[in-house]
Amino acid sequence: MAEIEYEAYVPETLELWIPEEFYVDRSINVAFECDDGSFAAVGPIYIYQYEYEQVGRKSQASGPMVQKSYTLNSKSVKFSPNPFIKTVSINFQTHTEVKLCMKAYDVTGRVVKDIYNGTISGNHILKWNGDDNHGRKIAQGVYILRVENLNTGEIYQKKLVKVK
């Protein structure tokens, strides 16, 4: 059992080791209790399995939990200019190689443009010239750029405004 205290509207991350005997039936139950009647909102839950490799005489943990994960946020992904007229630059800063998928959506949730699907590392700049998947220029309005880290499942979204 793990317990955390938190401030309202401040995201918290709880990382804990679950002993193997607790999930022998291949299921893990997660329960949330609030002492004072407040509520909790739960974001994504990632469950990783450690992998072990033999290094000399010792068994060493490896796998996704041991490696430093990449976080998509406003510091690692920047869009400029916003609003944009013709072209928007998307700047990425990563410490490791990351497989990304980036798409632009209109306000109805329809995919307008598949901007990028591939691997990047270090400082990387992509440019989107405001066209759709058919090569036509998009209309002015609000668009959502969604970046997904395919290694971890993390998603970062940002509103962009296209003006004439």
Kind and range of the H or E run holding 88 = strand 88-93
CA angle 70/73/76 to nearest 5° reads 65
pTM above 0.95, yes or no: no
CA 3 → CA 14, 17, 28, 35, 164, distances in Å? 9, 13, 17, 11, 52
Each of the 164 residues of the chain gets a pLDDT tens digit; together they read 455 566 666 666 666 666 666 666 666 666 666 666 665 566 666 666 555 555 555 544 444 444 444 456 666 788 899 999 999 998 888 777 888 999 999 988 999 999 999 998 888 888 999 999 999 999 999 999 998 988 888 888 889 999 98
Angle 85-91-96 (CA atoms, 0-180°, nearest 5)?
A: 160
Bridge-based pairing of strands 111-120 and 77-80 is unpaired
Q: How buried is residue 14: exposed, middle or buried, by Cβ count under 10 Å (0-12/13-18/19+)?
A: exposed
CATH code: domain 77-162 is 2.60.40.4070
Decide: 127 and 89 in contact? Cβ < 8 Å.
yes
The backbone torsions φ and ψ at residue 22, rounded to the nearest 5 degrees and listed phi first, read -85, -10
What is the structure's pLDDT at 7? 65
For the chain, the domains span 77-162
CA angle 90, 86, 148 (to 5 degrees): 30
